Structure 1
Amino acid sequence: MGTVATFDVRAPFVADEVIERAIAILHDIDRRFSLYRPDSELSGLADGSIAEPDLSPDVRWVMAACDDLARQTGGAFDARRHRADGVADPSALVKGWAIELAVAELERGGARNLFAGAGGDIVTRGEPTPGHAWRVGIRHPRIASRVAAVLDLRDGAVATSGRYERGEHLADPRTGRPAAGLLSFSVVGPDLAWADAYATAGFVMGMDGLAWVDQRPGYGALAITPGDEVAWTPVVERHRVGEAIEPSDFSDESHRHVVS
């Protein structure tokens, strides 16, 4: 998946082998989906050595889900047109889906209170300490010393697409040009796979993405414009506890995380 995953499991703790099974799930998904591995199924699809009907069921499901999202978003999310070279790249869905599967494995092993993250996208379950939600800060995409919004989250996910210090990395599949209407677009919801994909689509849509995400039951969005305006939907408002603070303010309590 081209990123590092982290897990923070609180009491009740789980056996080491449960953690190992969760990590093994991530390795298996990377083995099948990574375009950096010449032996992956997606690399085989790209070079023509594997036909799409011959892909494993999970890979076929992911590609079908991406095709459905392309229809829902009017092409703002399109795994088959995301890259200039025409190679199918469902990573905007796969990363969140993989983390959700790993979290489900931890829960089967007895975990109830945990935080999982990969590349700035996160999943939370339960509470880090009794009576406290996981506190998630969304870093300002242009001002590294500023947290644009703070969310309290118990059972849910947050995903962000944006320019940040990486530059205009996300192209509009409909035009092939960089999506430049926003600095960042974050989605809050019950499932990281969909939150991640919706964040990608919403960033491409620009401010119109707020209304589009708001129509997805249980999901909300927060957008930051090049003029540093911050706008959000009602679902985000229910989780929002603050904005425009210093990331260092998070360092005194271990249940606080800053993501970007």
Structure 2
Amino acid sequence: MLRSATGLRRVEQIMGTAISLEIAGTVPADEAGRLADEVYAWMRLVDDTFSTYKDDSEVTRLHTGDLAADDACADLRDVLAVCADLWRDTDGYFDVYATGRLDPSGYVKGWAAQVASDRLMAAGATDHSVNAGGDVRVRGWSSTGEPWRVGVRHPWDPAAVCFVLAGTDLGIATSGTYERGLHVVDPRRGGPATGLRSVTVTGPDLGRADALATAAVAMGPAGLEWLAGLPAGYESAVVTDDGRFFRSDGLPEQVV
């Protein structure tokens, strides 16, 4: 953990990925440390509740029938309600049962980071970045006094970025096949989705952006046309399996 007189930078491994937090601005170091503790406690709670790898998580117990839906915690009930709406809004391509078991991961990571960011805002830490394994929510200004700059990984070169996004109030979610292989399932075919190697969606709600990016990957090439009709405030960028790059006109992109 890096800490100065004000602000903080910290990284922890949760949900099987790196969760990085930066609190900038004039938040005193001790207060920033307390807020960071709360962020990481929240992330661990989300992992304990929603993990598909933990036998005692509520998601696993709901899937196996050991937990009734009415007895699930409020967060799980709320998430599943939103996922049902997203299933409708994406014509069924965002499907928490696409893999054959209950798995809301395509929404949860972005949602968890969004909630963490909202709580930081409410606590007065208005300049911060929360990065949950590539799902990023930035608010306010970076420690340099400039807008936050977020590099999106190149889908063939893990040491390079494909493009850089910049902003002071921005959610950035990326879904793709380049890191975990063909893990996104096309629920129509019941097999791995192909055609789009990387989809990035930006917008005000990171959980929703996460789900929209996942849905577009699941659609394959048809996702390109579908992304053109995203709701107001959401923008997109796509790298196809054959190396073509597409971006919407309003994408907050910076030249590297």
2:52 equivalent to 1:35: yes
Give the distance between the partners of 1:28 and 1:142, measured in 2 at CA: 33
Is the 8 Å Cα contact of residues 114 and 207 (structure 2) preserved in structure 1? Answer: yes
Give the distance between the partners of 2:23 and 2:221, measured in 1 at CA: 36
Give the distance between the partners of 2:249 and 2:185, measured in 1 at CA: 28
SS in 1 for 2:128: strand
SS in 1 for 2:192: coil
Is the 8 Å Cα contact of residues 138 and 149 (structure 1) preserved in structure 2? Answer: yes
Q: Percent identity over the alignment?
A: 40
Give the distance between the partners of 2:158 and 2:52, measured in 1 at CA: 30
Give the distance between the partners of 2:143 and 2:38, measured in 1 at CA: 25
Greater displacement, 139-148 / 51-60: 139-148
Greater displacement, 187-196 / 164-173: 164-173
User: More strand by proportion, 1 or 2?
Assistant: 2
- Hey, what does 1:194 align to over in structure 2? 208
Q: Find the partner of 2:83 among 66, 78, 83.
A: 66
Give the distance between the partners of 2:253 and 2:135, measured in 1 at CA: 17
Mapping of residues 175-186 of structure 1, within 5 Å = 175-186=189-200
Give the distance between the partners of 1:162 and 1:52, measured in 2 at CA: 31
- Hey, what does 2:235 align to over in structure 1? 220
Greater displacement, 157-166 / 138-147: 138-147
Q: Find the partner of 1:87 among 101, 114, 123.
A: 101
Is the 8 Å Cα contact of residues 113 and 135 (structure 2) preserved in structure 1? Answer: no
Q: Find the partner of 1:24 among 21, 29, 41.
A: 41
Is the 8 Å Cα contact of residues 60 and 102 (structure 2) preserved in structure 1? Answer: no
Deviation at 1:173, TM superposition (A): 1.8
Q: Which amino acid aligns with 2:23?
A: V
SS in 1 for 2:250: helix
Give unmatched runs, 5+ long, in structure 2. Answer: 1-14
Q: Which amino acid aligns with 1:158?
A: I
- Hey, what does 1:168 align to over in structure 2? 182
Give the distance between the partners of 2:133 and 2:145, measured in 1 at CA: 28
Q: Which amino acid aligns with 1:107?
A: M
Is the 8 Å Cα contact of residues 121 and 159 (structure 1) preserved in structure 2? Answer: yes
Higher relative contact order (CA 8 A, sep 6+): 1
2:19 equivalent to 1:5: yes
2:64 equivalent to 1:47: yes
TM-score (norm 2): 0.87
Q: Which amino acid aligns with 2:34?
A: E
Deviation track 1:159-211 (CA, whole Å, cap 9, x = no partner) reads 11111143222121221211111111110111110111011001122343344
Greater displacement, 191-200 / 36-45: 36-45
Give the distance between the partners of 1:75 and 1:175, measured in 2 at CA: 12
Q: Which amino acid aligns with 2:74?
A: P
Deviation at 1:80, TM superposition (A): 1.7
1:145/1:35 CA distance change after superposition, 3 Å: closer
Is the 8 Å Cα contact of residues 176 and 197 (structure 2) preserved in structure 1? Answer: yes
Give unmatched runs, 5+ long, in structure 1. Answer: 246-260
Greater displacement, 227-236 / 11-20: 11-20
Deviation at 1:131, TM superposition (A): 5.1
